[in-house]
Structure 1
Amino acid sequence: MDLADRAAITDIVTRFGWCLDRRDWDGLKALFTDVVHTDYTALWGGEPQEAGVDELLATDKQGSWRRTMDGLEATQHLITNVLVDTDGDTATATANVVGVHRLTNPHGSPLWTVGGTYDFRLVRTGDGWRIRAIKQGITWVEGNQQVLFRAAMRAA
């Protein structure tokens, strides 16, 4: 495996958490392909989704990352132990994640924390490596899940 590819992919994975926590929506958008496959079924149930990156980050769409994250006071996604495998112009990256979500609310703890993994599928484009799919695995959850639901309603 090319070390430059490994470094570039690890940087994309790191920037994912960094941009999400800082609400850098343009920076986050730049990490993805135009169409993104997301699988949060381990957390929410349901079915994996596929949507345009603009839809994923829309301000007016129920369930979009941006709408939910903008409703929170703060988040911190600690993404570590990135393992990268490449195969030509495609790659996978797996990483551990602890995501802390904060919103003061009248219904319990202001914190909801999720520990688990992210599995990324990436593709090499003319602009470098981009994420085309993300899947979250859950190892543990602690705190008040209402934090996320209330955040989505608050940003509406």
Structure 2
Amino acid sequence: MTPGDREAITDTVLRMGWFLDRRDWAGLRDLFTERVYTDYTDLWGGEPREGTVDQLLSTTAQGSWRRTMDGLEATQHLITNVLVDVTGDEARATANVLGVHRLANPHGSPLWTLGGTYEFGLTRTAAGWRINAITNRISWVDGNQQVLFRAAMAAAAKAA
């Protein structure tokens, strides 16, 4: 692994949180491979998913980032302490994450916050390092999880 690899992978991982919080869907799309494995089972239960990046960022697909995020007033994903391991054209990165989600609602606090880690799989492409897998491990949560459910419902209603 070169110092340039570590820097490029860390930059890709940090940009994911930055673009997500700004709802920069085109910027986010450019960070991923065409197919993406996601594991949010610590958060939602169920099974990990694999699909296209367009499904991940869809306005209509159940469990898509955009469907939930577009319904929120604001988010802040702080991704820190990125550790990187590279083997040839494949890499693994692990990082701490603090995600704050805000939506005023009639069912309690407007905030839902989680702390945990992201585990990323990345592939070197002609365009640079791209994320092909994300696993979210939850260490703790605080606040009102209704914020996410209500945001997804609001975004689905807008898309309909």
Counterpart of 1:98 in structure 2 is 98
Moved over 2 A (4+): none
The 5 A counterparts of 1:134-149 are: 134-149=134-149
1:41 & 1:60 partners in 2: Cα distance? 20
1:58 & 1:43 partners in 2: Cα distance? 20
Counterpart of 1:72 in structure 2 is 72
Counterpart of 1:83 in structure 2 is 83
> Secondary structure at the residue paired with 1:105?
coil
Deviation sequence 1:52-102 (CA, Å, 0-9, x none): 000111112222100100000000000000000000000000000000000
Gaps of at least 5 residues in structure 1 are none
**Paired AA for residue 52 in structure 1:** T
2:35 & 2:61 partners in 1: Cα distance? 16
Determine what percentage of the aligned residue pairs are the same residue.
74
Q: 1:25 aligned to 2:25?
A: yes
Deviation sequence 1:13-35 (CA, Å, 0-9, x none): 00000000000000000000000
Aligned residues: 156
**Paired AA for residue 148 in structure 1:** L
Gaps of at least 5 residues in structure 2 are none
Counterpart of 1:129 in structure 2 is 129
The 5 A counterparts of 1:50-61 are: 50-61=50-61
Scaled by the length of structure 1, the TM-score of the pair is 0.99
Counterpart of 1:9 in structure 2 is 9
1:126 & 1:12 partners in 2: Cα distance? 14
1:155 & 1:36 partners in 2: Cα distance? 22
Q: What RMSD in Å do the two structures reach over aligned CA positions?
A: 0.5
> Secondary structure at the residue paired with 1:58?
coil
Residue 121 of structure 1: how far off its partner (Å): 0.3
